[in-house]
Amino acid sequence: MFKVMLRAINRLQQVENKKVAIYDDIGPLDLGFTELILNKGSEDEIPLWIASELEKSDKVKVYSISLEELGKIIFQEKQNINTPASLVKVYPDLYFRIKKLSNELKNQGIDGLESIKKINSIVNEISNIRLRKIIQLALLNIDDKTVINKMTKEEYLVYASLKSIISSFYGDVIGSSI
């Protein structure tokens, strides 16, 4: 069930708006429910499915994340590594941005390989720290909206699934509730 929900999140991402840099005048594009006009030299938010097509023809650039931003995230996460409620606010589509950055570096050939290794190492560390905090939050049954709003969609799915499993364990196996 978890994989199905994760796939749904990935598919829904195609209709979510992503911030893009616009390299060429575009439009008007009739989307059926609205008209899209993009002006060269500006930034806008457009659905990912459109942005991906426009990016193939170098008319827009979908933003990813930089190595420096990842460095800041890991530094902040490590500051309170043992405090579950200390999740750092990140982009809601952090993992999409990381995949995009990796793909951009893969297209650079051999020059990007060293950066990809560094990024993979940082991302593994970030996700391990964040997952540890999320597991603790689920175990402690914490429902603080300010903490939950700091999670990505994928992380929230893990949190909600773990919380449900833990609740079932206490209710069905032990016979008490948390």
Do 73 and 54 have their domain in common?
no
Residue 115 lies in a domain: yes
Pairwise CA distance, residues 73 & 30, whole Å = 39
The CATH number that applies at residue 42 is 3.40.5
Instruction: Round the average pLDDT of the chain to a whole number and report it.
Output: 88
Residue 111 reports pLDDT greater than 80: no
Do 124 and 167 have their domain in common?
yes
Residue 161 lies in a domain: yes
Do 131 and 77 have their domain in common?
yes
**Per-residue model confidence as pLDDT tens digits over 125-156:** 999 999 999 999 999 988 889 999 999 999 99
Do 103 and 156 have their domain in common?
yes
CB 75 within 8 A of CB 126: no
Domain residue limits at 19? 12-62
Residue 6 lies in a domain: no
Do 21 and 79 have their domain in common?
no
Q: What angle do CA 126, 70, 160 make, to 5 degrees?
A: 40
The residue that leads in pLDDT, 33 or 38, is 38
Pairwise CA distance, residues 112 & 101, whole Å = 10
Do 94 and 57 have their domain in common?
no
Domain count, the chain: 2
**Per-residue model confidence as pLDDT tens digits over 91-109:** 999 999 999 998 888 888 7
pLDDT given for residue 177 in this prediction: 58
Residue 128 lies in a domain: yes
- The pTM assigned to this predicted structure is 0.82
Do 126 and 98 have their domain in common?
yes
Do 94 and 168 have their domain in common?
yes
Residue 5 lies in a domain: no
